[in-house]
Every structure is written in structure tokens, then in C-alpha cells.
């Protein structure tokens, strides 16, 4: 790493959140720009976060009985066209392949924006009896959606994700799957990303193209904007009827299968940045941090310092932690700001005086609290500090939601809350009419995020039209 | 699994090897056909083999200092066009994207057939000083090559692979990388796929498009055909000069970087099938088998049998093995042939009499040897049997190479050897002239596979023209 990188000042988070975000993704070496607009290079440090996310989620998927597969990246136009709502939703934003080598293709193909139709085609081939069900498949891959406006991790033309696609004998089982995976996502966000989320159902207008019902988890970023962090969809037998996917039940009668799908993307990395980051850079949740502890030798030219630092690094590695020892000749000041920028949860400093006293200094990235830690119980102390940090940043995010959730009875109250306290989640009642949904967005800038599972009664009437309310909706300005 | 699958007869391997191969990939549930010609669905059992390959290789890549990244899947035409040899090699077989949604793109883009130019563009952005070198990057992804003739795993229009792309300060370092990764591949093939390979250099005409030198590992399939199982390329500063990728050395002078790349693909799964499989189906190397031991309870309705089977499954899982207990109501005969088809290395049978005698029966997939194994040391015995199987199938493959490697002095001898003993590797001298290379292929059907690192002197003169020989070449008919 060359010293030219010493200057790493970034825009203040409260001054210009968007600029702060871009500064971080570039200066923490998460992404690089590529020659294709809207496509990013995910650099090693960013990709290592994704690998940790993958590893944890993949373990949970397998523990809940799911199997990984790989479908082709191409969807022939006629296949994409089969389900009317699905094609309407995706046709405007797919990339089309028209030529193979110098030959014009007989039928053009799009690059998968999502793989429902490919899984349907496959399920039709492999499902025939109730014994073949359920099929609990998942795929890790990249997908392409030709978006107009793009931002690294949040919205890019190509992004990495996982897409679960499952086939079930009956509706109940498919609904259970949809709910189960939404809970998996919510728990993962809480436990591994230390990011609390709301769970709910999307309104009709906001459903996934072709779904009977779409469920989502919604997170609130530091600036009060809402971010959809994951979704699961219930399809009923809609696709099954279009693709004629049937099975023989125990009574030897033909039935349509019922389906679900669910996905999270590299957008989760964007969520982590905007939930926990600060003016010095990233703050990474220990569960997904590529480096959990960075060890920085102080006065490393003094005898015994480097050896001791290496010994501690080895001990922590043996304890199962991800550790980096930086014994480069960069200054301590450079190192401190480098690993703050990169959001390494704990910085461990060790110098001659510490060695004399059989201790080291550990600094938490989130609070910057400094602790003198005895070397005898280093492993335990470090893992306790990591847990404390995880809890701390979760708590801070939770408080952000609590401080920025406003109960409002009409759109004037929404505007007043935003003006006074900044953007956030709005709890307000809704009559169920799409016109009101649009009207609220027009008047306040806040769209419906979800109909949360945890309902409250803010008032009896719709926040917009004053007619009797059907349910409480969470509204917010979106990424 | 429905009983309709009971009939699983496959074509005999020695009768029609190509048909036998297709039968296996379908009947062992490795792949399914998709609606896009030349693109396959990799089903859970096939994908699980790939996941094991990935996990092992990724660990080795990381241990040797490599980092994973993700590059965009798109290459703008102008970027692909930059390096003359590279574009000539790949232009005829790339898929072109011309439209994003309904908009015609200003410049068409291909889907990566390989990512050299993307890495070059990125390296140009991030490398400026000798402190930035080496960059040891790898990527796991899918690539697209619009082939005319396709076969599952061996040659498909989209396939999964890893591509390492590295940047070095000088030629020596880049060459060392090229050699190191070839050795990594060869060792992996030997140790994890139990498949011996030859290491060597490709001839000029067979080099990767744009490379200074291409190295490869060559395996010999059961039918005597050669299969290229992995490659590594040395680029020198060829791409660096075209893309102007320089760094400042310690003397503060500008230098071009030197590059290497290396890759293996899902073709390795094809290699495993064709190396070890037999007339009953797959035979999987224990290191990559999704299931290493299948436990089949005998007379499972008798009291205590299922409990004992479950207990043994649990013990083997705790010992770190991949175990499946099949307690379905399918017949024992069905189960036996099912797991033979799927190539599960060991079948463990346990019934009432075995339990009485505190033993079980273990059958090796490769030799079908039956052993009575005491339950007290089950874990040790099982892992010894797995090692023995791994050694056994390696040895068998090695003997296949030894029995099918012919030293020939002229093309008549090659044809005679093929006619008498079947296809195989031919060791024969070469003058270095491309015309002779072509001529040998025309006369015998065997192309140059590589100039092996382990050279011998079969004669003094070229196998084709009789002029003085430059080196020994391994020739063979190729997949």
C-alpha cells in the first residue's frame, strides 16, 4: 500500500450522506468503477464481506433443507413472455443478447433479471409425483437489470445475489416457506449484520412481478431513509398453471404445485455501510468483517515487539478469529486511520511497555473506547469485546429507528415530522386504495414500505382520504 | 424419489463411451437440459460436487496469498478489441448484448468469455507503485463461449469456472506464479480428484489467445481420449503495453507489469466421470463426493435397526464425514443401484444380525469389496476405507495412462498403436514446425496435447518430417 493513500478524508456523513457513502465505498477499497456504466468491480475487501454473508446464509439455507443448483444465465424471449405480469415487470429492464459470435440468433435471449421462469421450466421436467415435493432449491449468481440510475451496492445493472425457488405440494407449505425465509433474513440481519429490520407485506402496487404476495424486511439507514433489505414471494399456483407444472398426489390425482421465491443481494453491504458507518469510515459487524482484529505493533523496531505481536495474532487465529497483523513500515497514524476507514471492529496495540506489563491496548471501532487487556485471557476478552461491539451497533441502529419512527394521522403531520426530526419511518393508517398510496407519496415524498406484521391502530381513518382504514402501513423515503 | 426411477440401466462404457457418459450425467441427476441449446442446469447433486471442488481449491488459493474479487460480466466491444491476438481468439465465440430494455446500446458489449481485459482495465486503475505489487486476484463466476457442439460439463456455452489474474513486478515472478498454479492444479487433481495428470507447455498453435506461453495439465480418460483439465498462462508485459499498466519501481522508474492467468472449470466434473465411472454409474473421489457414506438399514422394520443406523450416521457426521441415511421405503435393491449410480464411495449396511454381532457391512463402490467392520472403531475403519478407495481409483487411472501411453517414432507406429491397443497418449518427437503438427493430426487423429515438462528422447528426428527433433510432444485425441 503506497503512502499516497495517507490522505483519506471523507465527506461528513451529516453534511452530504450520498457523497459520504460514495467516499466510503471507494476509500475503503470496497469497489472500483468499471468501463461499463452501472457495473462495479467488487474489490477484495468488499468481496470478502460478501463471502462472509454467503457463508453464513448458505449454512442456514442448508440447515433448513435447501440445496444449491445452477441455472443458465439466459432466458429465451418466449420463455420470459409466458407469465404476463412477470414479463410486464421485467421487460423494460433486461439486457438482450442477439448474436452468438457473428450469427444472429433465431430468438433473442435476455440475461436473467431473476430466474422464476427457468426454475419453472426445470420443475416441470423433474416433478411428477408427491414424492418429488417439496423441492427446496437455491442459487448464488449474478443477475442483470438495466437500471437508469445506479449506485454501488444499492442499485447496479449487474449484482450478486441468491435466489431461492421452491416448489410445494400445497399452498400452506409454500406460505410457510415464504414466512420461514423472511424470518431467516430478519434474524440474519439482526444477528450477523447487527441491523434491526421490520417485517411486513408489500402493498398490491409494490408486489414482485407475478407474485400473489410479496413480503419484505425494511431497514432504516442513518439518514432516515428506508432500505428494502430482502424479500420473499408467494406465487400460489400462478406460475404452475402457466407452465403446467403438476404432480400426482397420494390419491393419484393431478394437482398444480405451489411456489415461493426469496432473495437477498449485495445491497446488504450497502445497508451495513449506511447503518453503522461514521465520519471515519466503515464500522463492520464482527460476523461479516473480513478482519475482526487488526494488530498494530508500537515501536516495532524494539526487540521482542514484532515477535509478541505475531504470537498474539497466532493465538487469536487459533481461537477462530480473523486477524491481521500490520507490521508494514507505514506510520502508526496511517495505520490507525486506515483500519478505521476499513471498519475493523477491534484494534489491538502492543508495544514494549505493554509487554512489560503483560497487557495490550484494545480500541473499539464504534465507540473508540480504549481498554487495557491482560494477555492471559486475551481470547476471551477479545471475543467479549466483539460481542459488545455487535450489541452496541445493533442498539444504536435500533435507537435510530425508535427516534425516527413517527405516528401520524394525516399527511400534514408526516411533513411536519420530517421537517422537524428528519426523514424516518412513518406509521400511518391506510384505506387500501392505491390512489391514496400515490397521493401520500406525492404530498410527503414517503412511499409505502410495507404493511408490518406488527399492526397498531394509529387512528380509525386513512392518513390520506379520511375514509375507514384497513391497516397500518409503514411509509418512508426509499433508496 | 418415485419408484419409476427404478429402471436405471445405462449403456455399457466399452460399447458406446459417449452414450454411457450422457446416460450417467442424466441418470445420476447431475444435470438437466434447459431451453437454451448448449446451456445446462446443474442439479443439486452435480452442483454439490462443484461446491466441494470450489471449497478445496479456494482454500488453497487463499493459502497461497490470493484474494477473490468480482468483475462485471460485460466487456464493451472496444475494450475486447484492444489486444489483437486476444480478440482474434475470442470474437468468433462471444455472445453480444445489443439492447438494454428497449434501448439500443451505443456500444455493444459481449458477455465475458474470459476476463483478461477487465482485469487489465482495473489493474491500470489501482496499480501505481511497486508497493502495490503483486496483485494476486481470483474470481469464481460463469463465462460464455458460443460453441457449436456442446456436451454437459465438457463443453457448454455457459460454464462455471475460476479465473486467477495476477500482476507482478517482473517476469520471473509472473512465471513463478504460472508454474505454482499449474502445480496447485496437478496436486489437486491427484489428491482430491484421484486423477493423475501430465504437466506441460502448449505448442505455439495451441496457446491461449494473447498469451506468451500456455501451460496445461492433461488427463487421460477411460476410453483413451485426452482431456485438458486446467491451464495457466504467462502474458509477459504484452497486455501491460497495450493497456499501459505501469508502476514506479524502487528506483522511481516507470516499468510495465507482468501478468499471469489460470483457470479450471466445471469440466473437472466431466473428467471425474470419465476417469472413474463404470457400467453401474459414477465412482466419486471421496474428497469431492457430496455423500461419502450412505447408510442402508436392512430389515428396517425390525426393532432397533433404524435407531442403530441413525446412531452410526451421527457418529460418522461428528467425525467430519458427509453421510446420508436412506430410511425410505424403497427396496434395498433399488437403494443399492441408486447409490451405485450416484457413485457414493462407501455403502454401509446394518441389520438385526449385524447389530447382534456389533458389526456392519461396508461395500466399496470401486471394487465392490465387502468388509465386515466392527462398530467400536467404525470412524477409523471408514476413513481408512475411503483412503483406500481414493488410492485405488488413482492407481487404476495411473495404470490406464501407463497401459495407454505409446512411444512412437513415426505416424505409422502411432496408427498401429491406436489400432492395436486403442486410443491413448503418444510420446513422439517433434521438429517444432506447425505444419508437422497439423500433418500428424491429419494422419492419426491425434493432436499435440503438450510438450511435457518430463522430456524423453524417443528418437532423434521428428515423428512426421524426419528432420532433427526439438522436443518430445504428447499427442492424443481430444475431448
User: How far A108 CA lies from chain B's nearest CA (Å)?
Assistant: 10
Q: Which three cell numbers stand for residue B198?
A: 501430465
Cβ-based contacts of A97 with chain B (< 8 Å): 95-98, 111
pLDDT at A8: 61
Predicted confidence band of residue B7 (pLDDT cuts 50, 70, 90): very low
**What does the alpha-carbon distance between residue A264 and residue A262 come to, in Å, rounded to a whole number?**
7
How close is the nearest chain B Cα to the Cα of A273, in Å?
19
In this complex, which of B41, B50, B101 lies closest to A146 when CB atoms are compared?
Answer: B101
Q: Which residues of B touch A103 (CB under 8 A)?
A: 146
The confidence score (pLDDT) of residue B236 equals 98
Question: Among B51, B67, B97, whose Cβ lies nearest the Cβ of A68?
Answer: B51
What does pLDDT average to in each consecutive run of 10 residues of chain A (479 residues)?
Answer: 54 95 97 92 98 98 98 96 87 93 94 97 97 98 94 96 98 98 98 98 94 97 97 97 97 98 98 98 98 97 96 98 96 95 98 97 98 97 98 98 98 98 98 97 98 97 97 96
Q: Min CA distance, A220 vs chain B (Å)?
A: 28
Interchain contact B95–A (C-beta under 8 A): yes
The reply to whether residue B44 touches residue A67, judged by beta carbons under 8 angstroms, is yes
Of residues B71, B74, B146, nearest to A100 (C-beta): B146
Q: pLDDT tens, B56-71?
A: 999 999 999 999 999 9
pTM for the full predicted model:
0.96
Is residue B331's pLDDT more than 80?
yes
Do B96 and A93 count as a contact with CB atoms less than 8 A apart? no
Which of B71, B93, B96 has its CB closest to that of A98? B96
pLDDT averaged over every residue in chain A: 96
Q: How confident is the model at residue B6 (pLDDT cuts 50, 70, 90)?
A: very low
What pLDDT sits at residue A37?
A: 87
58-77 in chain B: CB under 8 A from chain A: 67-76
B312: enclosing H helix or E strand = helix B305-318
- Cα A173 to chain centroid distance, Å, stands at 26
Is the minimum CB–CB distance between A447 and chain B shorter than 8 Å? Answer: no
Residues with Cβ within 8 Å of B478's Cβ and at least 6 positions away in sequence, in order, are B225, B226, B227, B228, B447, B449
* A232's grid cell: 420473499
pLDDT band at B4 (very low <50, low <70, confident <90, very high): very low
Q: Is A97 on the interface with B (CB under 8 A)?
A: yes
Whether the complex's predicted ipTM surpasses the cut of 0.90: yes
Q: Do A32 and B125 touch (CB under 8 A)?
A: yes
Q: Which residue of B has its CA nearest to A48?
A: B68
pLDDT tens digits along B69-91 = 999 999 999 999 998 888 888 88
Rg (CA), chain B: 25
CB contact under 8 A, A67 and B76: no
Cell of A378: 486475551
Residues of A in contact with B167 (CB under 8 A): none
Condensed to tens digits (0 to 9), the pLDDT of residues B15-54 reads 999 999 999 999 999 999 998 889 999 999 999 999 999 9
> What is the nearest CA distance from A201 to chain B, expressed in angstroms?
28
Judged by CB atoms closer than 8 Å, whether chains meet at A41 and B97 is answered as no
CA distances from residue B159 to A34, B28, B163, B265 in whole angstroms, order as listed:
23, 19, 12, 7
Nearest residue in chain A measured CA to CA from B66: A44
Residues 276-335 of B with CB under 8 A from A: none
Considering only residues 389 to 418 of chain A, which have any Cβ-Cβ distance to chain B shorter than 8 Å? none
A142-161 burial, b at 16+ Cβ within 10 Å, e below that, comes to bbbbbeeebbbbbbbbbbbb
| pLDDT(B459) > 90 | yes
Interchain pair A34, B72: CB under 8 A? yes
C-beta atoms surrounding A472 within 10 Å: 21
| Residue of chain A whose alpha carbon sits nearest to that of B39 | A72
Find the largest Cα–Cα distance for chain A. Answer: 81
Give the pLDDT confidence score for residue B91 in this predicted structure: 85
pLDDT higher than 90, residue B394? yes
pLDDT at A88: 86
Which of B374, B363, B231, B100 is closest to A91 using CA atoms?
Answer: B100
DSSP per-residue string spanning A401-466? HHHTEEE-SSHHHHHHHHHHH-S-EEEEEE-S-HHHHHHHHHHHSPEEEEEESS---S-SB-TTT-
- By mean pLDDT, which of A146-150, B239-243, B366-370 is the weakest? A146-150
Closest CA to B36 of A113, A91, A73: A73
CB contact under 8 A, B94 and A101: yes
Amino acid at each position: 500500500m503506497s503512502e499516497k493513500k495517507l490522505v483519506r478524508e471523507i465527506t461528513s456523513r451529516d453534511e452530504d450522506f450520498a457523497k459520504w457513502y460514495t467516499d466510503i465505498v471507494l476509500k475503503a477499497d470496497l469497489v472500483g468503477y468499471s468501463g461499463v456504466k452501472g457495473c462495479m468491480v467488487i474489490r477484495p475487501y468488499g468481496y470478502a464481506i460478501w463471502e462472509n454473508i454467503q457463508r453464513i446464509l448458505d449454512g442456514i439455507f442448508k440447515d433448513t433443507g435447501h440445496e444449491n443448483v445452477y441455472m443458465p444465465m439466459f432466458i429465451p424471449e418466449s420463455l420470459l413472455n409466458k407469465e404476463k405480469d412477470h414479463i410486464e415487470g421485467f421487460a423494460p429492464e433486461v439486457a438482450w443478447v442477439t448474436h452468438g459470435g457473428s450469427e444472429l440468433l433465431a430468438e433473442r435471449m435476455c440475461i436473467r433479471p431473476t430466474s422464476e421462469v427457468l426454475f419453472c421450466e426445470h420443475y416441470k421436467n423433474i416433478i411428477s409425483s408427491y414424492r418429488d415435493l417439496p423441492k427446496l432449491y437455491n442459487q448464488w449468481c449474478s443477475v442483470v437489470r438495466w437500471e437508469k440510475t445506479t449506485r454501488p451496492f444499492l442499485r447496479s445493472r449487474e449484482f450478486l445475489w441468491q435466489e431461492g425457488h421452491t416448489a410445494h405440494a400445497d399452498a400452506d407449505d409454500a406460505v410457510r416457506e415464504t414466512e420461514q425465509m423472511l424470518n431467516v433474513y430478519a434474524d440474519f440481519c439482526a444477528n450477523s449484520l447487527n441491523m434491526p429490520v421490520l417485517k411486513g407485506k408489500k402493498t398490491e402496487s409494490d408486489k414482485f412481478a407475478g407474485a400473489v404476495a410479496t413480503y419484505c424486511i425494511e431497514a432504516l439507514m442513518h439518514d432516515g431513509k428506508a432500505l428494502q433489505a430482502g424479500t420473499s414471494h408467494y406465487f400460489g399456483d400462478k406460475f404452475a398453471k402457466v407452465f403446467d407444472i403438476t404432480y400426482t398426489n397420494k390419491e393419484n390425482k393431478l394437482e398444480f404445485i405451489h411456489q415461493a421465491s426469496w432473495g437477498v443481494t449485495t445491497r446488504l453491504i450497502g445497508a451495513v455501510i449506511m447503518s453503522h458507518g461514521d465520519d471515519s469510515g466503515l464500522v463492520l459487524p464482527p460476523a461479516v468483517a473480513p478482519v475482526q482484529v487488526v494488530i498494530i505493533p508500537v515501536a516495532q523496531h524494539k526487540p521482542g515487539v514484532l515477535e509478541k505481536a505475531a504470537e498474539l495474532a497466532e493465538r487469536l487465529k487459533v481461537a477462530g478469529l480473523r486477524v491481521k497483523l500490520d507490521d508494514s513500515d507505514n506510520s502508526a497514524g496511517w495505520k490507525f486511520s486506515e483500519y478505521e476507514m476499513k471498519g475493523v471492529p477491534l484494534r489491538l496495540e502492543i508495544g514494549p511497555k505493554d509487554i512489560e506489563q503483560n497487557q495490550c491496548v484494545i480500541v473499539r471501532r464504534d465507540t473508540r473506547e480504549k481498554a487495557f487487556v491482560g494477555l492471559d485471557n486475551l481470547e476471551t476478552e477479545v471475543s467479549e469485546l466483539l460481542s459488545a461491539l455487535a450489541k452496541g451497533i445493533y442498539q444504536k441502529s435500533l435507537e435510530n429507528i425508535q427516534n425516527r419512527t413517527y405516528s401520524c394521522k394525516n399527511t400534514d403531520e408526516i411533513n411536519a415530522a420530517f421537517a422537524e426530526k428528519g426523514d424516518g419511518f412513518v406509521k400511518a393508517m391506510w384505506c387500501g386504495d392505491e390512489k391514496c398510496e400515490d397521493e401520500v407519496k406525492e404530498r410527503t415524498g414517503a412511499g409505502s414500505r410495507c404493511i408490518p406484521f406488527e399492526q397498531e391502530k394509529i387512528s380509525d381513518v386513512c392518513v390520506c382520504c379520511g375514509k375507514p382504514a384497513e391497516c397500518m402501513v409503514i411509509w418512508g423515503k426509499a433508496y
